Amino acid sequence: MNGPAHPGRYEDPPTDRLPVVPIDRSRNRLATAGIVLMLLAVVLLPLAPAVGTLPALAALVCAAVGAWRSRGGHAVNRGRAVTALIGAPVVLVAAVALTPPVAPVTAEPAAAERADARAAETAARERAAEERAATERAEQERLAQELAAERRAAEQTRAEQAERERLAEERAEQERADRERAEQERADGERADRERAQQQRAAAADPAPASVCNSSTHYVNADGNCIPRPTEAASPPAGATAQCKNGSYSFSQNRSGTCSRNGGVARWL
């Protein structure tokens, strides 16, 4: 034996002792995370099984990794990892079982829906095109009616203008005819007045003898002279001696009896 001897005890020298190697036993947080996720999945299963599937699947992954890390005592919480590894599949299976199945969508209904949608779209485009065509036809008809109304109004205006011009021409022609007739009548009256005045002057200058006196235009006075009968004129004719009240002129040579048949004497000339 090496070293000094002691009664009742034997000791090895320090060189004979084995070195103490510390073991790295880090905390296994994945096991705890697996337990927490499993409990969250259990809470969500009655409310939303489809949502609870996600934490159950995550708990299973965490438990598997935690159990692998705790093998051989390299990490603590091995019991938690094993519990999560056993419970997570159960929770996952329950979540999958409680999730309502989704009806598979077949290709035929989708194709039928697409065909219906295309048909509806085509029908909508056709209706829109028909509506546009009807609107365009209505607009064209309205424009045609407005154009026809404008043409009728223009024709009526032209007809009214032509009628007014015709009436104006007729009035002008009538006025010209009236003026010509008035001028002719005035000229005829002046000529007749001149002729009567000449006759009266001739009669006054040389009274016709009673034997040749024309009783229709003359009369024989008290002196036996042939005197012109009262005559109407615009102005006093030559030889007139008085104007009667009826407007005629008298050629009487005596005051007595002058204008006796024409209302009396209005004034002496």
**Burial (0-12, 13-18, 19+ Cβ within 10 Å), 199:** middle
* Average of per-residue pLDDT across 183-199: 76
Q: How far apart are CA 231 and CA 201, in angstroms?
A: 13
DSSP, res 211: G
Predicted pLDDT of residue 33: 81
* Average of per-residue pLDDT across 231-260: 84
* pLDDT classification of 202: cutoffs 50, 70, 90: low
Q: What is the pLDDT of residues 21-79, one digit of tens each?
A: 344 445 667 778 878 888 887 887 777 777 778 888 888 888 788 778 776 555 566 77
- Which is more confidently placed, 58 or 157? 157
Q: What angle do CA 203, 205, 206 make, to 5 degrees?
A: 65
* pLDDT classification of 251: cutoffs 50, 70, 90: confident
Predicted pLDDT of residue 212: 62
Predicted pLDDT of residue 225: 82
**2 touches 51 (CB < 8 A):** no
* Average of per-residue pLDDT across 173-199: 81
Residue 240: both structure tokens together: 């007139």
Q: Which residues of 135-171 are buried (b: 16+ CB within 10 A; e: fewer)?
A: eeeeeeeeeeeeeeeeeeeeeeeeeeeeeeeeeeeee
